[in-house]
């Protein structure tokens, strides 16, 4: 068994769908499960629909219409003839969605969100399944909600592994080409749930785990996992091999590699994960597996822009120790600050945080009651895994370094 995951960018238009076929033809599709996300930016577009629905905006119908038109154009490109059954199938999904919006009585945003957002994946997999049949890649369309069972923590549901494993064992036919939706699951009342934005990789890992798959491949628009984000660093290099642990570390420091949630089930069964380019499927890409820390052994760079560095010292020169620290952390938690780095000395304490929820001002007010506070906004946090002097110099060049911290494998630098 192999599991292939195709994200929204890989199927953003008819050419993407055709390219998916090319990938399958080149790489083989025996005993394969394909997990697919919503096409292009559909999930964002459906988020607009949901917002319009709750805000009772007049744009509700037009935003819904945009989503329909986008898919209709792809259908026309792929099938030309509007009599093709795929048009009807897609249309009836959209009718189902409209009916839901007309009749829904629940005021619960998260619940409604999941019921609506799931249509992105349902529609994309119907279109792709139909197209695969059209080009004679006979396949079996699965409603993932019959397999992945979760609690009802809408928008970030937790998998019920026992029932999910049971459902997959009982209902999944390994001998054929299967296609299903990423991101979705269902609760015990069969309402749609979702696993969190960008959750399709996780879906692939859940199936791989339950099916004891040989491998998972995530098809991307980059050649694999790089040692730096090419948007911010020149000369980003491809990593050939990287251990689960290293990948989890990189993700922890903010690299948009692979979510740790995705890696955990794979790591438990030692199922290798490949990240490859859907444009160059024969290239090796990156293999994430148990062995090998990192190959090649080069520094990896992660940058988080727009962070906040807060430095505190006691008003009366008393030490900053356990009781102060516990107060500080309570406040950081209260204001939902994601802590990136901390550094402390006898009478001062610095923390670099991600102000994700725009709570900086109330936090500072609160802190100022007890401490002398200085705050630097819009700083950048650089993390270098497996640093060397050249890597450090490259980061520090032309920048004002506000804080620097190193452990054996990791260096963190906050710059202005």
List interacting residues with Mg ion (CB under 5 A). 8, 37, 43
Nearest to 283 by CA among 214, 208, 204, 222: 222
Minimal distance, residue 7 CB to Mg ion, in Å: 6
| Residue 183 CB, nearest approach to ligand ASP (Å) | 4
Segment near ligand ASP (CB under 6 A), from 22-30, 130-138, 191-199, 305-313? 191-199
Query: Of the ranges 56-64, 140-148, 196-204, 336-344, which one interacts with ligand ASP (CB under 6 A)?
Result: 196-204
229 binds, among Mg ion, ligand ASP, none (CB under 5 to 8 A by kind): none
- Residue 7 as a binder of ligand ASP (CB under 6 A): the answer is yes
**Using CB under 6 A, which of the segments 35-43, 151-159, 240-248, 406-414 binds ligand ASP?**
35-43
Among 69, 197, 268, 269, binds ligand ASP (CB under 6 A): 197
Structure tokens belonging to residue 164: 């999910």
Residue 327 binds ligand ASP, judged by CB under 6 A: no
Smallest gap from residue 182 Cβ to ligand ASP (A): 5
Q: Which partner, Mg ion, ligand ASP, none, binds residue 199 by CB below 5 to 8 Å per kind?
A: ligand ASP
Position 198 contacts ligand ASP (CB under 6 A) = yes
Strands 192-194 and 184-186: antiparallel
Output the residue with the shortest Cβ distance to Mg ion. 8
- For residue 162, give both structure tokens: 């026992």
Residue 40 · residue 13 · CB < 8 Å? yes
Residue 219 to residues 8, 10, 249, 279, Cα–Cα distance (Å): 10, 7, 22, 9
Contact partner, 16, from ligand ASP, Mg ion, none, Cβ < 5-8 Å per class: none
Q: Which residues pair with 6 in a beta bridge?
A: 36, 219
Q: Which residues lie closer than 8 Å to 262 by C-beta, 6 or more apart?
A: 201, 202, 204, 205, 273
Give the one entry of ligand ASP, Mg ion, none that residue 88 binds, where binding means its C-beta sits below a cut-off of 5 to 8 angstroms depending on kind: none
From 111, 117, 118, 211, select the one nearest 164 (Cα to Cα): 211
Rounded distance, CA 375 to CA 310, Å? 4
Does 265 engage in binding with ligand ASP (CB under 6 A)?
A: no
Segment contacting ligand ASP by CB under 6 A, of 10-18, 192-200, 317-325, 336-344: 192-200
Residue 199 C-beta: closest distance to Mg ion, Å:
9
Burial group, residue 385, by CB count within 10 angstroms (0-12, 13-18, 19+): buried
- Which of 16, 40, 182, 299 binds ligand ASP (CB under 6 A)? It is 182
Question: Which of ligand ASP, Mg ion, none lies near 219, with the C-beta cut-off 5 to 8 A by kind?
Answer: none
Is 38 one of the binding residues for ligand ASP (CB under 6 A)?
Answer: yes
Is the distance from CB of 328 to CB of 349 less than 8 angstroms? yes
Closest approach of ligand ASP to the CB of residue 327, in Å: 37
Quick one: CA torsion of 286, 287, 292, 298, rounded to 10 degrees? 10
Binding mask 91-120 for ligand ASP (x = CB under 6 A): -----------------------------x
Among 37, 178, 193, 277, which residue interacts with ligand ASP (rule: CB under 6 A)?
37
In order, the DSSP letters of 174-210 are TTS-EEEESSEEE-TT--EEE--TTTHHHHHHHHHHH
Question: What residues form DSSP beta bridges with 303?
Answer: 382
User: What is the length of the chain?
Assistant: 416
Give the one residue of 200, 227, 313, 380 binding ligand ASP; rule: CB under 6 A.
200
**Residue 24 CA: distances (Å) to CA of 29, 155, 208, 214:** 6, 31, 18, 17
Contact positions toward ligand ASP, by CB under 6 A?
7-8, 37-38, 43, 120, 182-183, 197-200
């Amino acid at each position: 068994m192999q599991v292939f995951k195709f994200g929204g960018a890989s199927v953003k238009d008819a050419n993407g769908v055709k390219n998916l076929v090319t990938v399958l033809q080149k790489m083989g599709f025996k005993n394969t499960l394909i997990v697919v996300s919503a096409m292009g930016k559909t999930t964002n577009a459906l988020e607009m629909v949901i917002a319009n629905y709750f805000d009772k905006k007049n744009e509700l119908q037009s935003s819904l219409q945009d989503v329909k038109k986008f898919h209709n154009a792809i259908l026309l490109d792929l099938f030309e003839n509007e009599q093709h059954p795929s048009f009807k199938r897609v249309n009836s999904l959209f009718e189902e969605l409209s009916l839901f919006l007309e009749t829904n009585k629940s005021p619960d945003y998260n619940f409604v969100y999941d019921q609506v957002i799931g249509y992105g994946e349902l529609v994309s997999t119907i279109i792709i399944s139909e197209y695969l049949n059209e080009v004679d890649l006979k396949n079996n369309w699965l409603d993932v909600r019959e397999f992945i069972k979760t609690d009802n923590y809408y928008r970030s549901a937790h998998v019920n592994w026992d029932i999910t494993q049971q459902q997959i064992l009982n209902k999944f036919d390994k001998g054929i080409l299967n296609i299903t939706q990423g991101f979705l699951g269902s609760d015990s009342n069969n309402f749609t749930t979702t696993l969190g934005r960008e959750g399709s990789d996780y879906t692939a890992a859940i199936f791989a785990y339950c099916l004891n798959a040989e491998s998972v491949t995530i098809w991307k628009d980059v050649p694999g996992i790089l040692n730096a984000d090419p948007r911010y660093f020149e000369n980003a290099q491809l990593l050939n091999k990287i251990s689960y642990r290293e990948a989890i570390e990189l993700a922890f420091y903010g690299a948009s590699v692979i979510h740790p949630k995705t890696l955990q089930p794979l790591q438990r069964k030692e199922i290798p994960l490949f990240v490859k380019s859907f444009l160059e499927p024969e290239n090796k890409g990156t293999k994430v597996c148990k062995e090998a820390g990192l190959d090649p052994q080069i520094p990896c760079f992660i940058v988080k822009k727009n962070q906040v560095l807060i430095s505190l010292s006691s008003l009366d020169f008393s030490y900053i120790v356990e009781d102060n620290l516990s107060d500080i952390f309570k406040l950081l938690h209260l204001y939902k600050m994601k802590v990136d780095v901390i550094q402390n000395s006898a009478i001062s304490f610095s923390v670099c945080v991600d102000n994700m929820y725009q709570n900086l001002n109330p936090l500072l007010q609160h802190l100022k009651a007890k401490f002398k506070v200085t705050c630097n906004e819009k700083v950048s946090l650089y993390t270098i895994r497996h640093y060397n002097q050249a890597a450090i110099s490259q980061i520090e060049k032309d920048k004002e370094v506000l804080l620097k911290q190193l452990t054996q494998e990791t260096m963190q630098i906050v710059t202005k």
